[in-house]
Amino acid sequence: MTISELHAHLTTAPKSEIRFTLPDAELVPAHAHVTEVGRVDRVFLDCGGTLRRSSVCLLQVWVADDVGHRILAQKLGFILERATPLFSGEDLEVEVEYQARWISQFLITQVQHEGGSALLRLGIKQTDCLARDICLPAAEAGECGEGNCC
């Protein structure tokens, strides 16, 4: 989900409490804070030697001891608006960083409005080989070595 898509969902029900649903359907505690909205830029070399770039909008979600805390859709929308200069006019994909047992990043796959809450459903990110044309033929043939990633 992009920043503009998320913002549109937030403005349709501004008084809704934001809730995050993990991929296993477990709810993040209702008193979670969105402690950061940022832009994360990656510049990397894939296993085939191609230089690549990617950027996302990252929401960091943190759970503290103040169980009375709630964030409303209107407030999150305002925070996203204040962060606009970070995105340089790009409508980036939004990811959520959350720590349960360990820090993980999730995609926002859907926003559902239910009973006074805006449920942000989180999905699992997947790793992938970005140079399959180079890596997989060699790996399938069992030819690992110089120039082949295995």
Distance (Å, whole) CA 24 – CA 115: 21
Instruction: Note the pLDDT of residue 148.
Output: 56
Side-chain-side CA neighbours of residue 46 (13 Å):
15
pLDDT of residue 135: 78
pLDDT value of position 150: 52
> Which of 119-123, 124-128, 135-139 ranks highest by mean pLDDT?
119-123
Q: What is the pTM of this model?
A: 0.86
Please tell me the predicted confidence (pLDDT) of residue 100. 82
Which pLDDT does position 91 carry in this prediction? Answer: 98
Is the Cβ–Cβ distance between 57 and 94 less than 8 Å? yes
136 vs 83, more confident? 83
Q: What mean pLDDT do residues 120-148 have?
A: 75
For residue 12, give every residue at least 6 positions away whose Cβ sits within 8 Å of its Cβ, in sequence order, or none: 113
